[in-house]
């Protein structure tokens, strides 16, 4: 594991949240649509890491379902790795379960997998590798 890539925050209204975080952090951001997750994200760069705001207008997206059950707030912690396949293998040997064992393309064009939050003290952990 290299570093914290980003902290993901689920939001209901991306535009309002971008305005809020732009004022709070005094930073610019960039947005992108992530088709594999059916979400739109906004990234604020903070040193070597980022804060990611996540929203969706699609009823069947994981974020929309999450927001219906929970309030806005921290959604996941993402950790950068050099080799995602090696980390998947290592973490499986350690007993961790995955929500998806096959990496998919996520935001920032990274390969991503998610660990099951039941195995990580209730925190959704994203493992990601730059492509």
pTM listed for this prediction: 0.91
Enumerate the β-bridge partners of residue 9.
53, 74
pLDDT for the residue 13: 96
Structure tokens at 109: 């064009």
Rounded to the nearest 10 degrees, how much is the dihedral formed by the CA atoms of 52, 42, 128, 69?
A: 60
Looking at residue 93, which CATH number applies to its domain? Answer: 3.10.180.10
What is the domain count for the chain? 1
Measure the CA–CA gap between 84 and 107, rounded to whole angstroms. Answer: 15
Q: What is the mean pLDDT of the chain?
A: 95
Structural domain span for residue 36: 3-129
DSSP one-letter string for 8-61: EEE-S-HHHHHHHHHHHHT---EEEEETTTTEEEEEEEETTEEEEEEE---TTS
Confidence of residue 1 (pLDDT cuts 50, 70, 90): confident
Query: pLDDT tens across 62-105, in order?
Result: 999 999 999 999 999 999 999 999 999 999 999 999 999 899 99
């Amino acid at each position: 594991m290299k570093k914290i890539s980003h902290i993901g925050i689920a939001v209901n209204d991306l535009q309002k949240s971008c305005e809020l975080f732009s004022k709070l952090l005094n930073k610019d951001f960039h947005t992108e649509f992530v088709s594999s997750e059916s979400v739109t994200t906004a990234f604020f760069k903070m040193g070597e890491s980022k804060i990611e705001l996540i929203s969706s207008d699609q009823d069947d997206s994981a974020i929309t379902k999450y927001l219906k059950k929970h309030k806005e707030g921290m959604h996941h912690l993402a950790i950068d790795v050099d080799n995602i396949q090696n980390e998947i293998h290592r973490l499986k040997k350690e007993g961790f379960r995955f929500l998806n064992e096959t990496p998919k393309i996520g935001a920032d064009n990274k390969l991503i997998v998610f660990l099951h939050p039941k195995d990580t003290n209730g925190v959704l952990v994203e493992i990601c590798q730059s492509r």
